[in-house]
Structure 1
């Protein structure tokens, strides 16, 4: 048996070795020395898989001094600002936004014409988490919770997700109605049957791939929170002959797909049929139209948009696409391909034509967001845009800015916005507010 002196010596040696390896590891990461090249790909794959975060990184100082959902502002004003004095907007903004005062995300319905908040919801985060077993980390935690892309219901209730966790329904008084304890993310839309369509992480992965990936799909969910169907994007691509998109584009990564919009088609128009679903696959810079009835991809197009968001079918059967138009660098930072601007594309799937009708105003006013981003082309030809990274919402025509809204939470900072909606006057019914009494 070893005596005490030898035991102490062995423990001391092991301690010194562990300290040495720790220091070496720090130096390898900082100075990119051996074995950084051997582990770099694995490191960034794991980092992307576990964090799955959008948004530009903060400096160390900002991380210390600011809330997680707060960053320095780029603007000299806060709230709503009308830029075109000849224009009147009768629509509404439904805004999930970080409130420094509340210390969490809130959702506000804002009347543009009246320039005032019509109603406010405060998600009951403690109650939501009590009914969820999904890991409370990242976006699915109190400090980072997003109430992402809330859908306003006819009774004044909302349906939303954390951005990376359960789907939730609350009533007009912010009381919890139900929680579906699966991993939902990004967009929430209604289909022609009155059910919800939203991206979801498949569990288990369907099908298994040669190397493991996060298998994003989309689900159809009833208004009472029951999942009716699920569809795996990996399965859709492989069965339709697009193996090259899964395995053959760039180096393999766990967050291979990054589905950020599942947009159900609501009416037959110009070859597009009710029940089809348009998908935006960010990390493959690919959009497609899928028929759940047959399992077939009707068309698929990769680029020229890059890392895009928010595909919508237009009244003439063409599609609008918000091209973030960034390069995703290996260290998870982002680089705009065209300086200071993202792009709006209008794509005709029948003849392949692509237009950029807003390019001049996007360039002039430096409208850009590397992450997230929302787009809606309005009936008069204007475009509604959410610049998520800047916490700004903006409406533009093809030659000017109509108005802006900035979520300032202090004189020098803005709070995050998480997939706001523009709702036209014709598409909103506020009868639920009549005689509403909340404690």
Structure 2
């Protein structure tokens, strides 16, 4: 009898589930078979799905969203001059590129790059980024698909002018005296990096060999490419290369800055300043002779964004990051006697003077007071009036500093409350011909 009763309960349960499933299906199809309770049933049946979506949206937001810290909610804006910037962010099925005036937070223009177009060339990931984006004449723009096969130029109406997927492009993007583009890249096949192989005492390891690239801004064609392994070997820089702290990514080239004129005794038009994160070094390279002119190593680590300030000075963004990617043999230790604390409180901008062979930090007190620090990426722009723009990449905060303190502190507001967009190498302008 008990078995029959249990079997009956199972049959009734299955019937109820079938009935409920039928009602839910009808509701989902837009029918009103349940009469006045159709609405509540629809809401109830969608609850698990909505909870899952909400969890992913609010607790597993894509990496291009950053949670806004309490100390970054209240912004500062004492700008008395126009300060324009281009930046990009992911918006569902497209990338949005915007030109904003940070003085009044007005978006002057935007461009759209559809994910559908990019998907024709490679599989677009949820956390893919578009960086940086640079203005061109006639309201066009060129952007790099960071660590993806593609450099793209679009016109003022967001129409694709050209698309170069010959290399995987990454990091900084700069124009030379002819208006052509210089940028880091790496060779690939179907989006997979083609490595070089290092052999040491019979042990072999594949590593990433970045290349220096020049791209014709009108056609998108590659004008120049140079393997960094070749550059280092041809200039007897194996000793510097042996210092790399990332075996599989020894160079990590993050900026190629062309020299635009011949006014300096230390560098000339056509030279390139190359910034290598994993060597904590900057090289002045002359492509016309294939010669390295100077190697800069100093009080900086994992630096980015080398810029020419004057005929005798250059500046760089010093991340001031400790290197932890080092392989140790396993030792047996007794319990530690204690821990030595090392606190890295801030990054900074250093100016190197060729005349005196010395480094000086710019607005160091402001960096320390505001604890401006990013372990990776980060950039700056020294403005004509002496103010300093900073993109604090790690926290996603944009700053303008001067000797009196903070002029601007802001974030890129997102469509999720409590989050802001990760800034993607904001390009700053103080004057635009729009």
Calculate the TM-score normalised by the size of structure 2.
0.75
The residue number in structure 2 matching 1:393 is 398
1:312 maps to 2:307: yes
Change (3 A) 1:195 1:149: same
The residue number in structure 2 matching 1:145 is 128
1:89–1:112 Cα contact (<8 Å) kept: no
Q: Deviation string for 1:120-166 (max 9, x for gaps)?
A: 11212211231x2x5x3xxxx24223220111111212111211121
Q: Deviation string for 1:59-91 (max 9, x for gaps)?
A: x99995322322321245669741x3xx41222
Change (3 A) 1:349 1:236: farther
Shift of 1:205: 6.7
The residue number in structure 2 matching 1:176 is 160
The residue number in structure 2 matching 1:225 is 220
The residue number in structure 2 matching 1:158 is 141
The residue number in structure 2 matching 1:406 is 411
Q: Which is worse superposed, 67-76 or 239-248?
A: 67-76
1:256 maps to 2:250: yes
The residue number in structure 2 matching 1:118 is 108
Change (3 A) 1:311 1:258: same
CA distance in 2, matches of 1:320, 1:337: 26
Change (3 A) 1:63 1:298: farther
Change (3 A) 1:212 1:349: farther
1:357–1:398 Cα contact (<8 Å) kept: no
Q: Residues 246-325 of structure 1 correspond to what in structure 2 (within 5 A)?
A: 246-250=241-245, 253-271=247-265, 272-325=267-320
Q: Deviation string for 1:310-361 (max 9, x for gaps)?
A: 00011243111000111132399xxx97533101100123431110121111
Q: Which is worse superposed, 323-332 or 396-405?
A: 323-332
Shift of 1:96: 1.6
1:111–1:118 Cα contact (<8 Å) kept: yes
Q: Secondary structure at the match of 2:240?
A: helix
Change (3 A) 1:96 1:65: same
Q: Secondary structure at the match of 1:65?
A: coil
Q: Secondary structure at the match of 2:394?
A: helix
The residue number in structure 1 matching 2:99 is 109
The residue number in structure 2 matching 1:419 is 425
Say what the alpha-carbon RMSD is for the aligned residues.
2.6
Change (3 A) 1:227 1:75: farther
CA distance in 1, matches of 2:142, 2:152: 6
1:243 maps to 2:238: yes
Change (3 A) 1:270 1:280: same
Q: Secondary structure at the match of 1:384?
A: strand
Change (3 A) 1:298 1:331: closer
Change (3 A) 1:157 1:249: closer
Count of residues paired in the alignment? 353
1:191 maps to 2:179: no
Gaps of 5+ in 1: 1-59, 431-439
Change (3 A) 1:67 1:94: same
Shift of 1:246: 1.9
1:92 maps to 2:96: no
The residue number in structure 1 matching 2:334 is none
CA distance in 1, matches of 2:376, 2:128: 17
1:325–1:337 Cα contact (<8 Å) kept: no
2:400–2:409 Cα contact (<8 Å) kept: yes
Shift of 1:184: 0.8
Higher RCO structure (Cα 8 Å, ≥6 apart)? 1
CA distance in 2, matches of 1:351, 1:97: 42
Shift of 1:173: 1.9
Rg comparison, structure with higher value: 2
Gaps of 5+ in 2: 1-54, 200-204, 328-340
Change (3 A) 1:193 1:406: same
